Structure 1
Amino acid sequence: MNFRVPEGHTLHRLAGLHHRWYAGSPVRVSSPQGRFAADASVVDGAVLESAEAHGKHLFHVYGPDRVVHVHLGLYGTFTDGDTPVAEPVGQVRMRLVGADRWTDLRGPTRCELLTDGQVDALRARLGPDPLRADADQERVWARISRSRAPVAVLLMDQSVVAGVGNVYRAELLFRHGVHPSVAGRDLDRSTWDAMWPDLVALMRLGVHRGRIDTVRDEHLPEATGRAPRQDRHGGEVYVYRRAGMPCLICGTPVLTEVLAARNNHWCPTCQPG
């Protein structure tokens, strides 16, 4: 089965839901599986102050030096429901129970209690997040514009820009006609100035819809008469996981290659080398 790490819009969507459901009230925190039990006991019954995301990382803030950090990785998932709480099913790493909602976390790469200093150190290793108000476009450009690495690799480097994954990377490059192998230092500044706000808009749309949609209105199925995309991830995209299929704009077969250990997709006509 083809798994991928959830991209930044997913974590921001989860942060928004968890903040709305639990912030401002005491939360029961437990670890039915047992692996998070010691840390869960520290915050069990405490008031959740906020839930926020940075890139692919989720933070539940319970107060000074009491921050639960979650990184879903390839297999992590959250499930939730209305109270009363159901019996745990499977390996539930962390369970949250509020006044009228419950949430279970299974299979994350990381679920741990951090101090404020540890959170600061973690975030210092991450690049700006397009979905955060404190994102610094110039900091991203400074890293990209002096690098010999392909721009497709740089966009996936979480220390350059946090939250972008395989889908947003491929789709952003397609939408701006940039070949994946173009070196960061050879990317035109005007192109980057168009790419950044487009990335912000696409990821915000992802938060709102809970899926990744990157196809412009004039290329949607209802506008062109083509069949809608059939994919378990949902959303309408130009090139991601469309290898061998015709480009939605020019009809050229979409290509794919392994780039930095990840499958990349592009159109050789719309994104000339």
Structure 2
Amino acid sequence: MPEGHALHRLARRQQQQFGGQRVRVSSPQGRFGPEAALLDGKRFTAAQAWGKHLLYTFDDGDPATGNAMVHIHLGIYGAFTEETLPMPDPVGQIRMRMVGDDLGVDLRGPNACELYTPPDLEALVRRLGPDPLRADADPSLAAAAIARSRRAIGSLLMDQKVIAGVGNIYRAEVLFRAGIDPLRPGTTVTPEEFAAIWADLVALMEVGAQRGRIHVVRPDDDHGAPAYASNRPRTYVYRRAGEPCRLCGTPIAWQELEGRNLFWCPSCQS
């Protein structure tokens, strides 16, 4: 599943590609057919991300019909593909096709692609924690949630109700960079430690949103063992179980925590 930086990058790109244009919307697969018909011909006014959720706003300038919103959650298998015009004939299960002045995008395999109302958006925002990449984020909400929980900080950082958009890579890497044991209860994380974690998330996720690649290893440490797979980021601990820590040489530890793989250095994060 894409981490939050990827959704913000996608929202920024689609805002540049379609913002202000009247777009053609269809659903070759048919599952989004009636909704696409309502959107077809409207002006694409905004794309934004909230954590791992993508939201579009459309407006046709008619007060009688008003604005329309679409909520997309890519999940594990969802993805967009871009094509210059003219678009080729649809191939495969395309949930939504959106065509602007110069190019079009096809959406396949999302967990959700649905019309949203203002109450729907309010409900979504209420159940999400602050997003490090949003200017309106209030980190004090996440700090308070962590301070009153005895769950492991490694679990809390992955809980979208606590912080929106953080995935397994950022979870593992910011805790390593902060020198914090991922199994420590949230109640033991000091305000200063949380402030450092939040600041690091803001900085690292913005780099990811701008570059389209996760980059978490500091320049002085960016050497030695290669990334865990081709075309993947070099990491301190993520997917490096049993390999020597880049800083101290201790074998990287692994265990499952609440159904997700957890990686850390027992020495640097003691």
TM-score band, normalised by shorter chain: over 0.9
TM-aligned CA deviation for residue 250 of structure 1: 0.9
Tell me the equivalent position of 1:254.
252
TM-aligned CA deviation for residue 214 of structure 1: 0.4
Tell me the equivalent position of 1:127.
129
TM-aligned CA deviation for residue 175 of structure 1: 0.4
Tell me the equivalent position of 1:82.
84
3-state secondary structure, aligned to 2:70: strand
> Structure 1: which 4+ aligned runs deviate by more than 4 Å?
none
Offset from partner CA, 1:202-233 (integer Å, 9 cap, x none): 00000011111100000112xxxx25315256
3-state secondary structure, aligned to 1:105: strand
3-state secondary structure, aligned to 2:43: coil
Q: Tell me, in whole angstroms, the C-alpha distance in 2 between the residues paired with 1:227 and 1:158.
A: 32
Tell me the equivalent position of 2:33.
37
Once the two structures are aligned, what percentage of the paired residues are identical? 52
Q: Tell me, in whole angstroms, the C-alpha distance in 1 between the residues paired with 2:156 and 2:225.
A: 33
Give the number of equivalent residue pairs. Answer: 264
Does the Cα contact within 8 Å between 2:228 and 2:239 map onto a contact in 1? no
Give the alignment's TM-score, normalised by structure 2.
0.95
Is 2:5 the counterpart of 1:17?
A: no
Is 2:136 the counterpart of 1:161?
A: no
Offset from partner CA, 1:159-194 (integer Å, 9 cap, x none): 110000111101111000111110001012211121
Structure 2 unaligned segments of length 5 or more: list them: 60-65
Tell me the equivalent position of 1:239.
237
Which of the numbers 28, 52, 58 marks the counterpart of 1:56? 52
**1:75-114 equivalence runs, <5 A:** 75-114=77-116
Does the Cα contact within 8 Å between 1:65 and 1:116 map onto a contact in 2? no
Does the Cα contact within 8 Å between 2:228 and 2:240 map onto a contact in 1? no
3-state secondary structure, aligned to 1:163: coil
Give the alignment's TM-score, normalised by structure 1.
0.94
Offset from partner CA, 1:108-129 (integer Å, 9 cap, x none): 0000011111111111111100
TM-aligned CA deviation for residue 81 of structure 1: 2.1
Q: Tell me, in whole angstroms, the C-alpha distance in 1 between the residues paired with 2:110 and 2:231.
A: 19
**1:178-257 equivalence runs, <5 A:** 178-221=180-223, 226-232=224-230, 234-257=232-255
Does the Cα contact within 8 Å between 1:15 and 1:51 map onto a contact in 2? yes
Does the Cα contact within 8 Å between 1:65 and 1:114 map onto a contact in 2? no
Q: What is the identity, as a one-letter code, of the residue corresponding to 1:24?
A: G
